[in-house]
Chain A
Amino acid sequence: MKITDKEVRYVAALANLTLTEDEIGRMVHDLDEILTHIDKLNELDTSAVEPMAQVLYDADETATLRADVEQPSLTNEAAVANAVKSGAGYYKVPLVIER
């Protein structure tokens, strides 16, 4: 096994996910298979290849920048329209105790 039950619970907690015992078992199995596949990929020697985080560039300078020019924003009504709770123009969320 490449991944333990404990690690799955830890990652789920970081991601704010609540998993049932059943789901945890499935995740351990699936992630284990994924990691096994990664091991297979790792057999290739890529030491001379630059890591690639994005496939979308090949230029000397990044072409996808915007000018510092203001664009219209949403109205406050539109911004909070889908909020579960709002008031006085703000989003209202269950009490957050300062960490």
Chain B
Amino acid sequence: MSSAIAAPPDLIAKYEPVIGLEVHVQLATNTKIFCGCATSFGAPPNTNVCPVCLGLPGALPVLNRRAVEMAIKAGLALNCTVNRRSQFARKNYFYPDLPKGYQISQYDLPVAEHGWVEVEVGGVKKRIGITRVHMEDDAGKSIHDGFRDSDKYTYVDLNRSGTPLIEIVTEPDIRSSDEAYAFLTELKQILQYQECSTCDMEKGHLRCDANVSVRLKGAEKFGTKAEVKNVNSFRFVKLALDYEIERQVAVVDGGGRILQETRLFNPDTGETVGMRSKESAHDYRYFPEPDLVPLRISEEWMDEIRQDMPELPQARRARYMADFGLREYDAGVLTATRATSDFFEAVSKAAGDPRAAANWVMGDLMGALKAENKEIAESPVSAQNLGELIALIGKGEISGKLAKEIFAKMLSTGEAPRAIMEREGLKQISDSGALEKIVDQVIASNPKQLEQYRGGKTTVLAFFVGQVMKATRGQANPAAVNELLKAKLG
């Protein structure tokens, strides 16, 4: 299968890839979509199961309200129209990890449709259309190897069966693997902001299939597409797409035909390999799910959901640049996750100085967290305390140097800056009476340097400042010291 002919870059450049993505996202509910079993990851096999998610006869599904809210939030955040009435449908197929014999999904009436996401690639902004967002339940897990008798049996764990998913389908608007990567990154960020999903790819919370075709640049008609399935990291999506584009260009340019087929990406070889396609594979005989009433969403409920939605990352970035005067790069770093962004805003509010807050969060705090391999949510320094520390500098109560010292103590104890200052006696000395005494002492004990200064070597001032700072253990207000020294040495 590794015989795919490589296409040289100048040949690939003659073609244009057309890509659409189907992204399955696990919603961050506590329980499954149609029953009260936990969605927790890593439980012993077949322990988070009940008659509903085992597909036992007579069991009836009841829709999880929270899952609906999350699906609606996702739809709104992706600029979709939310359908006030949507309908579940059965998608029928046979597989051991699908105990009901059908997946409950949505077909002709999805919960949301006709949206878009804006992405930026190489400085160019572009909208990727969202065809639809629909809700469905996940299947269980088949384990094909690892057991003594794996050559005879497939092992099935149904803990995952019934986990709530949304499937997000894009228009065929994507024209490069970089655009696909940018889209997925943006999508993940949006969903995490809305707290619809943790999007933890290692746990399979976000899974991606890609439809790919190529056509000569300028051609209107789409080429025949192949579907690349189950690519489980964004980097692999890019690799799989690059491989598939090159493969298709080589086939088409050589006068061959692309088969409409499903292909699997092999991360070890970086190749996609065709799967045997069954004639009937795509005849799912959808019909309306008779066990569930159509989903109706009232105006009041929609309002409630809208009010619960935070500002989206793109809007936050724009606001940080316009209102706080932050650079685009910094605004990007501070909005990378909702936790970071919320933390920064809380610091900024307590500090009363967004730019100083940005510097402290991106510099000292992120540096310290990174060194300890911690997330911002695990920060030992609370946003309120960091904000207060910055405010203390602003008020001239402590110097920047002293602030760093206090910050180090805050990191290890989690205490408020004032508590540390009081306990350690670390208050900046701005009081001119107290400072004057120290300045006088320093001048008196350094006659040689005094002579040099008076002889015109004014750079010695720095020496005196240093001596005063040393005598006060860094607690003297540097500006006040400078002024006093200049007057006295004069």
Q: Using a CB–CB distance below 8 Å, which chain A residues touch chain B?
A: 10, 13-16, 53-54, 56-57, 59-62, 64-76, 79-80, 85, 87-96, 98-99
12 contacts between A and B (CB under 8 A): A53-B87, A60-B296, A62-B63, A65-B65, A68-B29, A70-B37, A73-B47, A74-B49, A79-B47, A79-B158, A88-B45, A91-B46
Contact (Cβ within 8 A) B63 A98: no
A residues less than 8 Å from B276 (CB atoms): 99
Residue among A14, A15, A71, A90 making CB contact with B156, cutoff 8 Å: A90
Q: Is B23 an interface residue (CB 8 A)?
A: no
Contact (Cβ within 8 A) B96 A73: no
Q: Is B147 an interface residue (CB 8 A)?
A: yes
Q: Which of B240-248, B285-293, B439-447 contacts A (4 or more CB under 8 A)?
A: B285-293
Q: Mark B318-345, 1 if CB is under 8 A from A, else 0.
A: 0000000000000000000000000000
Q: Is B419 an interface residue (CB 8 A)?
A: no
Q: Is B250 an interface residue (CB 8 A)?
A: no
A residues less than 8 Å from B281 (CB atoms): 99
Contact (Cβ within 8 A) A68 B153: no
User: For the complex, what is the distance from the CA of A64 to the CA of B87, rounded to whole Å?
Assistant: 14
A-contacting residues, B449-487, CB 8 Å: none
Known A-B contacts A89-B46, A90-B157, A94-B154; A54 and B294 likewise in contact (beta carbons under 8 Å): yes
Contact (Cβ within 8 A) A93 B154: yes
Classify the interface of chain A: helix, strand, loop or mixed. loop
B residues less than 8 Å from A71 (CB atoms): 31, 35-37, 50
Contact (Cβ within 8 A) A98 B144: yes
Contact (Cβ within 8 A) A54 B64: no
Known A-B contacts A10-B280, A14-B280, A71-B50; A93 and B30 likewise in contact (beta carbons under 8 Å): no
User: For the complex, what is the distance from the CA of A72 to the CA of B280, rounded to whole Å?
Assistant: 39
Contact (Cβ within 8 A) A64 B293: yes
User: For the complex, what is the distance from the CA of A87 to the CA of B45, rounded to whole Å?
Assistant: 10
Instruction: Report the minimal beta-carbon distance from B241 to chain A, rounded to whole angstroms.
Output: 22
Contact (Cβ within 8 A) B50 A92: no
Contact (Cβ within 8 A) B47 A96: no
Contact (Cβ within 8 A) B45 A70: no
User: Which residue in chain A gives the minimum CB-CB distance to B54?
Assistant: A79
Instruction: Report the minimal beta-carbon distance from A31 to chain B, rounded to whole angstroms.
Output: 14
Contact (Cβ within 8 A) B65 A67: yes
Instruction: Report the minimal beta-carbon distance from B283 to chain A, rounded to whole angstroms.
Output: 6
B residues less than 8 Å from A16 (CB atoms): 94
Q: Is B62 an interface residue (CB 8 A)?
A: yes
User: For the complex, what is the distance from the CA of A88 to the CA of B143, rounded to whole Å?
Assistant: 12
| Given contact pairs A53-B87, A71-B37, a sample of 19 additional A-B residue pairs in the complex whose CB atoms are under 8 Å apart | A62-B63, A65-B62, A65-B65, A66-B36, A66-B65, A67-B65, A67-B66, A70-B37, A70-B38, A73-B49, A87-B153, A87-B155, A88-B155, A89-B44, A91-B96, A93-B154, A96-B95, A96-B144, A99-B278
